[in-house]
Amino acid sequence: MIEAKGLTKYFGSIVALEDASFHVGAGEIVGFLGPNGAGKSTAMRILTGFFPASRGEAFIDGHEVHEHPLEAKRRIGYLPENVPLYDEMTVRGFLSYVARVKKVPRAQRSDEAARVMERCGLGNMGERMLRQLSKGYRQRVGIAQALVGSPPVLILDEPTVGLDPSQIVDIRRMIKDLGGDHTVLLSTHILPEVSMVCDRVIIISRGRIVVQDTMEQLTAAGGKTLEQAFMDAVASDLAAEKEAV
């Protein structure tokens, strides 16, 4: 459902992403991990068509993002790290607006807004103004807008950032429940989150993919925790760079 082939992105002389190749199968929940500045958000923005790659190809459900942007975007629900909400709108009004933007037929928009509100625990919040919502509920609205139209692919960038422990547990449970019905690529800095919800892990360091493996295989070697496996992968990449220099 998601395939990256040799994705490379330059910002001037800075290499943000270098020859990144990975895939996410139908119904999988895959954690996308890396230190700050490793290239996670750059890769996700290429996949969602936010900006083009300098080199390489990105496919969503078989549609190349640059060559067929509308077909690819129709299949994606995207939650950016900073959720863009219109604070002067109600929850229901905003989700109905998103349904309109996503070309949901007029007669179905109200039902679609109600469906995603129920799915995301917003059933009694429909008439609340977005500016009145807590951080946790704003994240729920962000996930709800990604679900409008039932896209087969969900790309979630730091969905639990800034939430309190109770809110994090709720959002994790929600993401876990989405697996199977949707293919999910999840970027996060919170490693226990990956352990709890993801089937497989992709680790990126300095713009390059350094590990792709299942949770079981990644942590089986030497009885490692995910944190140890992550730190080892990043350390090995840095050591390789120093040796090359």
Angle formed by the axes of helices 91-101 and 135-147, nearest 10°: 30
Whether 233 contacts 226, CB under 8 Å: no
| Sign of the alpha-carbon torsion through 205, 209, 215, 221 | negative
For 73-114, the DSSP string reads HTTEEEE-SS----TTSBHHHHHHHHHHHTT--GGGHHHHHH
**In this predicted model, what pLDDT tens digit does every residue of 101-143 receive, in sequence order?**
999 999 999 999 999 999 999 989 999 999 999 988 999 999 9
Domains defined for the chain, CATH in brackets: 1-75+153-170+188-245 (3.40.50.300), 81-150 (no CATH)
Q: pTM of the prediction?
A: 0.91
At 83 the pLDDT is 85
23-81 pLDDT, tens digit per residue, is 999 999 999 999 888 999 999 999 999 999 999 999 999 999 999 999 999 999 999 98
At 191, the pLDDT band (50, 70, 90 cuts) reads: confident
